[in-house]
Chains A and B, each alone.
Chain A
Amino acid sequence: MPTTAKSSQLAVADALTALLRDTATEPRPDIQLEALALAVAADLPVLLWGEPGIGKTAALTQLAASLDLPLTTVIASVHEPSDFSGLPVVGDDPAEHGIPMAPPDWAVRLVRAGRGLLFLDELSTAPPAVQAALLRLVLERRIGSLRLPPGVRIVAAANPRSSAADGWELSPPLANRFVHLQWAHDHEVVVRGLGGIWPRTTLPRLDPDRLPEAVEFARRAVCGLLAARPTLVHRLPTTETRRGGAWPSPRSWDMTLNLVAFSVAAGSSRDVLSLLVRGTVGDGPGLELLASLDRMDLPDPEELLADPAGAVLPERGDLRQATLDGVVAAVRARPDQERWDAAWALLVRALETGAPDLVVVPATTLAALRREDWDVPAAVEHLAGVVSLSRRADRASERVVRAEAKAGR
């Protein structure tokens, strides 16, 4: 009798556990996970920086499921260096055959399967010799005498430098080989998840039709920026604050080029690309690349000039002004009456569809481009309001100057 009571108690406990495990999922975009998926797809070494216990493993499980790869998690801090560099096995005649370095069982299984997702957790809490062995595994994909097949993807995770117990950090050459992704938890997601509903993310799928376009775009973007800004090609981190993080070098720019191409092929958002690019070449150069991508997105001035009536101008004020400035610059580069008229038509269109103050500077510059034999187009009359707007601002400025002078005296 007592045994059945005990086992039934266990059965009740099991039922309670089952009930707790019974959670639902809801679709929710997650740019961190998307960025991770793209970097893994591009087969670049990824380093996740995040405090322990914020769901890195859960994220990796979801990623492995969606990529249809078996997940192998290795907690670095409980291993010895020989687990990664191989255990020496003494044969019959070491002098003749040498001593082979035997790999651990999980590595053998991984190689036999030919594919899988290897997650090296807690990289920063392992002793230095283990870290060295692990870094070799991540970067050279070798465990003892085994070489991991190309179907195996590797992701490593570490605690941020400020919270790692022993101040673990990467030397700049090592840091340069990784895509650094900051992993943070989303308060809302955690609360909802503990309430029983975890997020489900649809991960990016690469579109086979867009591959050539993606490569062309990525090359144009990266080469365009680096041609104009040669100092961005290589910049070693100098200050203590930036140690151990991403920095630009030809190697990391090559990784960035890959990531841009992958994000275009997957149709990912710029937010995802932003995480990846800043995690590869660092914040400053990454933001510059993103800014130049924004400029590549602006409508082509020649197309706008060819069809002013059907032109679609960007909605956002700063982008709209940059577009109009581009149009005026195009007219200046190759001036003739027809293009000049088309530019005026565009300015009128901009005035009709958006804020008037954006038109002031382009209109002033365009007016200055006039040649003596060009007739002033009728469209200019629509811009009379712009002139008065500009005057109004001027008068306000004068009042300020007078008031300041008075206060100064």
Chain B
Amino acid sequence: MTTTGAPTTGAPTTGAPTDTLDRDKLFAARLQAARARPYLATALFALHTVESRRVPTMGVDRYWRCYVSPAFVARTPVEELAGVWVHEVSHLLRDHHGRSDRVARQRGLTGPGDRLRMNIAADCEINDDVYGDGLVRPKGVVQPSTLGLQPGELMEDYLRRFGLGSITQYLAWLDCGSGADGLDRDWELGPEGAHGLSAREQDAVRFRVAQGINGRPGNVPKGWQRWAEEAFHPPQPWRELLGAAVRSAASGAGAGEDYTYGRPSRRSAGLPGVVLPSLRRTPPRVSVVIDTSGSVSDAELGSALLEVAAISRAVGGRRDLVTVLACDAATRVVHPLCSAEGIPLLGGGGTDLRTGFAKALRTRPRPDVVVVLTDGQTPWPKAQPACRTVVGLFTRERGRRTWREDNPEYTPSGPPAWARVVEIG
């Protein structure tokens, strides 16, 4: 939604003489938008337009209907209308209504101004990267800089950064409809109205658009490429993934709680001559090998290490069963996790994790799980070690090359296939 004309001509209805909707102008703008952004054409054409005098400019609902004010169309040039079309369809493609509902539930945002803030935050997310390259930015749209914020963030992040106040005063009547912030408006047709798209149909349109972008990523801006990659596979928080990987490794056969023939079951009393297994608990031993070479920051290490310690305690590993090894070119410290918060991490040179692996596997009794936290700039052991391996990989920006003084041709290979890899950060 733009705030064109606000606050001077400002009002939603100006009483202008234009009473009928100029459909040709509106659809010429959509055509121009589809030509400027061919990958969004499916989504643009899937919108069902509804003429409405209650919407200030243009707005969408969560059923992919687009409400259009005739007066707004009359006073806005075609090329700006094209930008508004793309803006509105972006709300829907990026699922701003669903995300607003989720964020409202998570953070308990129920105040009267919160949905307006969500609308503004959603607008910021869109407006910082959809215009340009054949599409003009409509006059007066909200931008992150309007609110003194940095561009390039997501709606959820923007939402934390500002409150309603004098700076947002002139946005108070901004209204992109329930498609932008999840709050149903009384001028919308609602779920029972005609020509709405069902959740599945919305998914189908999103999928078509994402496929189009993934198929030809060359001419598509970065923001849309990221959206297309994540549209149907949102990245999971690494904490959960790492937790699941460590827990599953630690509770696999040989560790954790399982049946064993090492002792007869109590049921055996009723079945003389038969050996039944009984339930036994073997707490897992976890060795954590930490890459302390210069390329991993202390903050990254700290958060990942605390995570591993918490997880291994949760699966029943007592503190004395968790050991931590700091490793760069040589493994320096073998430290039991007794003083959980104060593990001295020495190092800072180049990395060779192979020594860390060797040392972890030499400890007696042998660990059930080795967890490696590294940025991957290291040679890996040739053969699979005799226990489960979870690798927490600190992601690095793509394109950053590693370089070695003695061997400029060196490129590190990725983690081996036998390890379970979780990308961190």
A17 within 8 A of B: no
With contacts A271-B200, A291-B207 known, is A392 near B136, CB below 8 A? no
Q: A residues 236-268 with Cβ under 8 Å of B?
A: 240-242
Is the CB–CB distance between A317 and B45 below 8 Å? yes
Is the CB–CB distance between B36 and A89 below 8 Å? no
Binds A, one of B237-245, B321-329, B397-405: B237-245
With contacts A240-B245, A271-B199 known, is A316 near B31, CB below 8 A? no
B259 within 8 A of A: yes
| Nearest-neighbor residue (CB-CB) of B47 within chain A | A317
14 additional A-B residue pairs with CB within 8 Å, beyond A167-B248, A396-B78: A128-B251, A128-B253, A166-B251, A274-B200, A316-B197, A316-B201, A318-B208, A321-B45, A357-B31, A394-B32, A396-B28, A399-B79, A400-B79, A400-B134
Q: In the assembled complex, which residues on chain B have CB atoms less than 8 Å from the CB atom of A316?
A: 46, 48, 195, 197, 201
Q: B residues 109-142 with Cβ under 8 Å of A?
A: 132-136
| Nearest-neighbor residue (CB-CB) of A398 within chain B | B79
Q: Is the interface of A mostly helix, strand, loop or mixed?
A: helix
Is the CB–CB distance between A393 and B35 below 8 Å? yes
21 A–B contacts, CB within 8 A, in A order: A82-B267, A87-B267, A87-B271, A94-B273, A99-B274, A129-B259, A162-B240, A240-B423, A271-B198, A271-B199, A287-B232, A317-B45, A318-B205, A320-B45, A355-B49, A357-B31, A385-B24, A389-B31, A393-B28, A397-B32, A400-B134
Of A283, A284, A400, the most chain B CB neighbours within 10 A belong to A400
Query: What 5 A-B pairs come out closest when comparing CB atoms?
Result: A167-B247, A317-B45, A167-B248, A393-B32, A396-B78
Bits for A130-174, please: 1 = Cβ < 8 Å to B, else 0. 100000000000000000000000000000011011111100000
Is the CB–CB distance between B200 and A318 below 8 Å? no
Is the CB–CB distance between B276 and A82 below 8 Å? yes
B227 within 8 A of A: no
Q: In the assembled complex, which residues on chain B have CB atoms less than 8 Å from the CB atom of A385?
A: 24
| Nearest-neighbor residue (CB-CB) of A395 within chain B | B78
Is the CB–CB distance between B276 and A127 below 8 Å? no
Q: In the assembled complex, which residues on chain B have CB atoms less than 8 Å from the CB atom of A401?
A: 134
With contacts A271-B198, A397-B32 known, is A294 near B24, CB below 8 A? no
| Shortest Cβ distance from residue A384 to the other chain B in the assembled complex, whole angstroms | 12
B246 within 8 A of A: yes
A352 within 8 A of B: no
With contacts A318-B42, A356-B27, A389-B27 known, is A283 near B232, CB below 8 A? yes
Q: In the assembled complex, which residues on chain B have CB atoms less than 8 Å from the CB atom of A388?
A: 24
Alpha-carbon distance A164/B235, docked complex (angstroms): 19
B233 within 8 A of A: yes
| Nearest-neighbor residue (CB-CB) of B249 within chain A | A167
Alpha-carbon distance A242/B233, docked complex (angstroms): 9
Contact of B258 among A129, A164, A241, A315 (CB under 8 A): A129
Contact of A129 among B28, B203, B233, B277 (CB under 8 A): B277
| Shortest Cβ distance from residue A32 to the other chain B in the assembled complex, whole angstroms | 12
Q: In the assembled complex, which residues on chain B have CB atoms less than 8 Å from the CB atom of A393?
A: 28-29, 31-32, 35, 78, 82
A80 within 8 A of B: yes
| Shortest Cβ distance from residue B199 to the other chain A in the assembled complex, whole angstroms | 7
| Nearest-neighbor residue (CB-CB) of B281 within chain A | A127
Contact of B247 among A81, A166, A287, A318 (CB under 8 A): A166
Contact of A357 among B34, B195, B200, B420 (CB under 8 A): B34
Alpha-carbon distance A315/B314, docked complex (angstroms): 55
B310 within 8 A of A: no
B91 within 8 A of A: no
B386 within 8 A of A: no
B361 within 8 A of A: no
Q: In the assembled complex, which residues on chain A have CB atoms less than 8 Å from the CB atom of B96?
A: none
Is the CB–CB distance between A392 and B259 below 8 Å? no
Q: In the assembled complex, which residues on chain B have CB atoms less than 8 Å from the CB atom of A242?
A: 233
Q: In the assembled complex, which residues on chain B have CB atoms less than 8 Å from the CB atom of A315?
A: 48, 195
A88 within 8 A of B: yes
Is the CB–CB distance between A89 and B271 below 8 Å? yes
Is the CB–CB distance between A291 and B28 below 8 Å? no
Bits for B170-202, please: 1 = Cβ < 8 Å to A, else 0. 000000000000000000000000010111110
Q: In the assembled complex, which residues on chain A have CB atoms less than 8 Å from the CB atom of B48?
A: 315-317
| Shortest Cβ distance from residue B237 to the other chain A in the assembled complex, whole angstroms | 9
Is the CB–CB distance between A88 and B232 below 8 Å? no
B108 within 8 A of A: no
Alpha-carbon distance A79/B132, docked complex (angstroms): 64
Contact of B241 among A87, A90, A240, A320 (CB under 8 A): A240
Bits for B45-73, please: 1 = Cβ < 8 Å to A, else 0. 11111000000000000000000000000
Is the CB–CB distance between A392 and B78 below 8 Å? yes
A227 within 8 A of B: no
| Shortest Cβ distance from residue B388 to the other chain A in the assembled complex, whole angstroms | 11
